[in-house]
């Protein structure tokens, strides 16, 4: 859980790995040691109760990939499952923001979903699983988001059991989208899934034609989603960013991530005063574009006031039904001619774009790793979920030794 020693370990490991293969020689792909006979899996067996179970290591079929899990982010979806089981999945192995190293693969596996070669020792992430549903098999990679498709970490239990990333091994089976991300560090790989959500949101925002290089942009909500939103905007060259939240700690982080000014809504009484606060932060102007990154209906209703006539809005905060918002269609949308887009998860294309975003974010010095505020070993997964539910940190991750 000590962030610094974690990073140093990672750097040392990478340096040692680099030394193993002499320069110029084609290093043969190697297994990272013998594969144990059993795998450890965190099974959610009841509400708010994970149990670590051991299952025999499955056979690796001709189209399968056996992956040693290195880490997996805890998502809001995991927290909902843990608390209420809304998808009726119990018993289930959760964890869909995972990454790890290939330790064994079937003879038919040659390339990842982007056409990159795959070998034992490569680091990978997975995205959707193409099932027997023809709609999902045929969906347009560029246009249709992957909402509703199967992913590891939200599958019903079966005889293999290695179905989610909260485990020390996972069996990736035929029909899964897999990406070789060996050129990204562990923290970046753990952040891929939530970052893809923002790559998609910004792509959606761009379709309005309003979000431009020099736009004034409001980002409302400075949880992981809002903070990553700021990071994506910064890598695109957008610098006029005002972050709105109710917590000073999060606003301070928003500044570190590149927001030029922040507004704490708790400092203002009423929406008119708050709007004046946002306007002042832009030097007397309303925003050209706004990203709504909270799950609060009141926040949704408020955000229209921050946008200039002819401006745009991307709403991406409602991962679950947070209830109805009351807006005034005449004042908020029609008379101002606001162009609104909604955004939901990502397309497979956005997923691949995210790898480049993460490299760029690191390149311009954005503190992406600081988004991961808590790291727990698999054995302490119950504590990890409780920490997530308490909303104490930003990104909580399970990190295996």
Stretch that binds Zn ion, among 70-78, 220-228, 234-242, 294-302 (CB under 5 A): 70-78
**Span from 29-37, 69-77, 130-138, 181-189 in contact with Zn ion (CB under 5 A):** 69-77
Q: Which of residues 373-392 bind Zn ion (CB under 5 A)?
A: none
Nearer to Zn ion, 302 or 388 (CB): 388
CB 43 within 8 A of CB 51: yes
Q: What is the rounded CA–CA span in Å between residue 158 and residue 41?
A: 13
Q: Give the separation between CA 396 and CA 392, rounded to whole angstroms.
A: 9
| Cα gap 300→332, rounded to integer Å | 11
* Cβ 319 to Zn ion shortest distance, Å: 8
Which lies closer to Zn ion via its Cβ, residue 75 or residue 198?
Answer: 75
Smallest distance from Zn ion to CB 77, Å: 5
Beta carbon nearer to Zn ion, 94 or 231: 94
Residue 385, CA distances (Å) to 45, 162, 169, 205, 368 in order: 14, 20, 20, 32, 21
Question: Which residue, 75 or 257, has its beta carbon nearer to Zn ion?
Answer: 75
- CB closer to Zn ion out of 75 and 366: 75
Stretch that binds Zn ion, among 43-51, 72-80, 98-106, 378-386 (CB under 5 A): 72-80
Cβ at position 151, least distance to Zn ion in Å: 9
User: In the complex with Zn ion, which residue's Cβ is closer, 152 or 304?
Assistant: 152
Question: How far is it, in rounded angstroms, from Cα 267 to Cα 114?
Answer: 48
Give me 110's structure tokens. Answer: 């040659």
Q: Are 341 and 204 in contact (CB under 8 A)?
A: yes
Contacts (CB under 5 A) with Zn ion, residues 75-104: 75
| 75 or 243: CB nearest Zn ion | 75
Q: Shortest distance, CB of residue 41 to Zn ion, whole angstroms?
A: 19
The pair of three-digit structure tokens given for residue 71, joined into one six-digit string: 């880490």
Nearest distance, CB of residue 193 and Zn ion, angstroms: 5
Residue 298 beta carbon to Zn ion: minimum distance, rounded to whole angstroms: 25
The minimum distance between CB 197 and Zn ion, in angstroms, equals 8
Q: What is the CA radius of gyration of the chain?
A: 22
> How many chain residues interact with Zn ion (CB under 5 A)?
1
Q: Across the strands, what pairs with 376?
A: 398
Q: Which residues 303-362 are close enough to bind Zn ion by CB under 5 A?
A: none
In the complex, residue closest to Zn ion by CB: 75
* Segment interacting with Zn ion (CB under 5 A) among 73-81, 98-106, 152-160, 384-392: 73-81
Residue 13 has φ and ψ, to the nearest 5°, of: -60, -40
Binding part of the chain for Zn ion, among 74-82, 86-94, 225-233, 357-365 by CB under 5 A, reads 74-82
> Is 81 or 332 the residue whose CB approaches Zn ion more closely?
81
Over the range 76-94, which residues count as b (16 or more CB within 10 Å of their CB) and which as e?
bbbbebbeeeeeebbebbb
β-bridge mates for residue 289, sequence order: 217, 312
Nearer to Zn ion, 147 or 156 (CB): 147
Measured from the CB of residue 96, what is the shortest distance to Zn ion in angstroms? 6
Q: Which is it for strands 123-129 and 176-180: parallel, antiparallel or unpaired?
A: antiparallel
DSSP 277-326: HHHHHTTS--EEEEEE-SS-HHHHHHHGGGEEEEEEEEE---SS------
Show Cβ contacts of residue 168 under 8 Å, excluding neighbours closer than 6 positions: 39, 40, 41, 68, 69, 378, 400
* Cβ nearer to Zn ion, comparing 340 with 373: 373
User: Please, which of residues 242-271 interact with Zn ion by CB under 5 A?
Assistant: none
Residue whose pair of structure tokens reads 């408020």 in the numeric block: 302
Least separation in angstroms between CB 97 and Zn ion: 5
Nearest approach, Cβ of residue 194 and Zn ion (Å): 6
| Contact positions vs Zn ion (CB under 5 A) | 75
């Amino acid at each position: 859980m000590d962030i610094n020693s974690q990073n140093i370990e990672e750097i040392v490991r990478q340096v040692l790995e680099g030394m193993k293969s002499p320069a110029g020689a084609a290093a043969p792909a190697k297994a990272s040691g013998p594969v144990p006979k059993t795998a450890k899996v965190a099974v959610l067996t009841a509400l708010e109760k994970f149990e670590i179970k051991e299952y025999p290591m499955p056979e690796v079929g001709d189209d399968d990939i056996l992956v040693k899990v290195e880490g997996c982010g805890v998502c809001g979806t995991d927290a909902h499952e843990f608390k209420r089981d809304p998808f009726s999945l119990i018993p289930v192995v959760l964890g869909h923001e995972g990454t790890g190293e290939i330790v064994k693969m079937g003879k038919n596996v040659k390339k990842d979903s982007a056409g990159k070669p795959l070998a034992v020792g490569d680091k990978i992430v997975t995205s959707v699983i193409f099932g027997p549903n023809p709609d999902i098999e045929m969906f347009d990679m560029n246009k249709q988001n992957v909402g509703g498709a199967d992913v590891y970490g939200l599958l019903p239990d079966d005889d293999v059991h290695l179905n989610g990333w909260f485990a020390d091994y996972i069996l990736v089976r035929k029909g899964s989208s897999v990406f070789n991300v060996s050129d990204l560090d562990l923290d970046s790989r753990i952040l891929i899934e939530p970052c893809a959500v923002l790559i998609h949101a910004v792509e959606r925002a761009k379709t309005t034609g309003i979000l431009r290089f020099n736009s004034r942009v409001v980002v409302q909500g400075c949880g992981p989603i809002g903070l990553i939103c700021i990071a994506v905007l910064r890598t695109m060259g957008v610098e006029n960013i005002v972050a709105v939240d109710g917590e000073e700690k999060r606003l301070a982080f928003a500044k570190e991530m590149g927001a030029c000014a922040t507004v704490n809504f708790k400092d203002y009484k009423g929406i008119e005063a708050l709007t004046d606060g946002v306007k002042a932060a832009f030097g007397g102007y309303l925003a050209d574009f706004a990203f709504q990154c909270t799950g609060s209906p009141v926040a949704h209703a408020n955000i229209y006031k921050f946008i200039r006539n002819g401006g745009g809005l991307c709403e991406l905060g409602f991962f679950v039904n947070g209830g109805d918002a009351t807006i005034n269609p005449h004042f908020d949308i029609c008379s101002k001619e606001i162009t609104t887009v909604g955004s939901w998860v990502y397309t497979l294309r956005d997923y691949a774009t995210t790898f480049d975003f993460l490299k760029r974010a690191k390149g311009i010095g954005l503190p992406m790793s600081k988004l991961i505020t808590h790291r727990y070993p698999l054995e302490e997964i119950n504590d990890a979920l409780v920490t997530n539910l308490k909303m104490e940190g930003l990104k909580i991750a399970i990190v295996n030794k």
